[in-house]
Amino acid sequence: MDMQAVLEEIHEAVRPMIGSGTVAEYIPRLAAVNPDQFGMSVVMNDGTSYGVGDCEVPFSIQSISKVFTLVLTLDRDGDEIWTRVGREPSGAAFNSLAQLEYKRGIPRNPFMNAGALVVTDHLLGLSEAGEQPLLELLRAEAGNPAIAPDPLVAASEADHADRNSSIAYLLSSFGNLRNPVGDVLAHYFEQCAIAMSTRDLAAAGAFLARGGIRQDGTPVLSPRQAKRVNAVMLTAGFYDAAAEFAYRVGLPGKSGVGGGILAIVPGKCSICVWGPGLDSSGNSMIGMAALDEFTSRTGWSVF
């Protein structure tokens, strides 16, 4: 298969959609992003990479960071995190706190904000250095030492943090945060504010398509753990639209309100697509369409 040609065809097919959707307005710095951008990258399991459009433009990875914080937690502390966070789809918005009350402070999964805050707290307990292990992982896997948080995005999110603060205080009230709420939130915002291109992210996630193993044969995760991360991506990676993504695309994936989506074709490749305009669930509109095109054209889906 000529992957570069496939990506170029997809680019043409979705071109009329460039600019559609709504940029995330609740983080003012994200609302300022030019919506007329689209990039897509594929990194094959043999390491070859392909890209189209704005595939080298860094964007805010936002909730895609949650995949990598979960990976770090599983790697450093095994299954311990599952005593604090569930792994069921939420069927709720990314920033919902409704379920927290009746689940007594145990978030439904690690990819909604409540669950990610607990993962961040857990990681802080394993390492004083906060987001440093995450940056090291992303830089090493993407082969790009320049990857860093955008301080303006982190500050913008911290300035508009009523919702995430409410979630964190509720978690804390149930005893499911071990560090001060302010510390957990600050680290969480830094993680979400990391800027990467689709090329960086497709490369960083490539080990998930190789059963947890890097191209050089060294492990990031065991195959069993990688299988589990992919399973949580499939069932909980798209807020209240996980089933819609499975229906249209049929791959494990994780989206972020910066408009990025990381998707994994186990055994074949890692894909990242970016377009800042979101649908009503917070998923990139053009990203969903491009991945729908990708799996329909290649036949590469888990179904």
Residues within the interface to ligand GLU (CB under 6 A): 62-63, 94-95, 113, 157, 164, 192, 256-257, 282
Q: How far is the CB of 24 from ligand GLU (least distance, A)?
A: 8
Active site residue 43: no
**60 φ/ψ angles, rounded to the nearest 5 degrees:** -80, 120
Q: Which is nearer to ligand GLU, 2 or 162 (CB)?
A: 162
β-bridge mates for residue 170, sequence order: none
Active site residue 66: yes
Q: How far is the CB of 189 from ligand GLU (least distance, A)?
A: 7
Q: If you search the block for the tokens 């307005």, which residue do you land on?
A: 25
Strand order, beta sheet including 194-196: 59-60, 194-196, 148-149
Q: Which is nearer to ligand GLU, 41 or 164 (CB)?
A: 164
Among candidate residues 172, 181, 239, 255, the one labeled active-site is: 239
Q: State which residue has the least CB distance to ligand GLU.
A: 63
Active site residue 239: yes
Active site residue 227: no
Whether the CB-CB separation of 53 and 11 falls below 8 Å is answered with yes
Q: How far is the CB of 192 from ligand GLU (least distance, A)?
A: 3
What is d(CA 111, CA 264) in angstroms, rounded to the nearest whole number? 16
Among candidate residues 41, 60, 63, 156, the one labeled active-site is: 63
Active site residue 63: yes
Among candidate residues 67, 71, 188, 270, the one labeled active-site is: 188
Burial (0-12, 13-18, 19+ Cβ within 10 Å), 20: middle
Q: How far is the CB of 60 from ligand GLU (least distance, A)?
A: 8
What is d(CA 169, CA 152) in angstroms, rounded to the nearest whole number? 24
- AA identity, residue 231: A
Among candidate residues 33, 52, 60, 66, the one labeled active-site is: 66
Q: Which is nearer to ligand GLU, 3 or 93 (CB)?
A: 93
**275 φ/ψ angles, rounded to the nearest 5 degrees:** -155, 125
Among candidate residues 119, 257, 265, 273, the one labeled active-site is: 257
**269 φ/ψ angles, rounded to the nearest 5 degrees:** -165, 165
Whether the CB-CB separation of 201 and 142 falls below 8 Å is answered with yes
Residues annotated catalytic, as ranges: 63, 66, 188, 239, 257
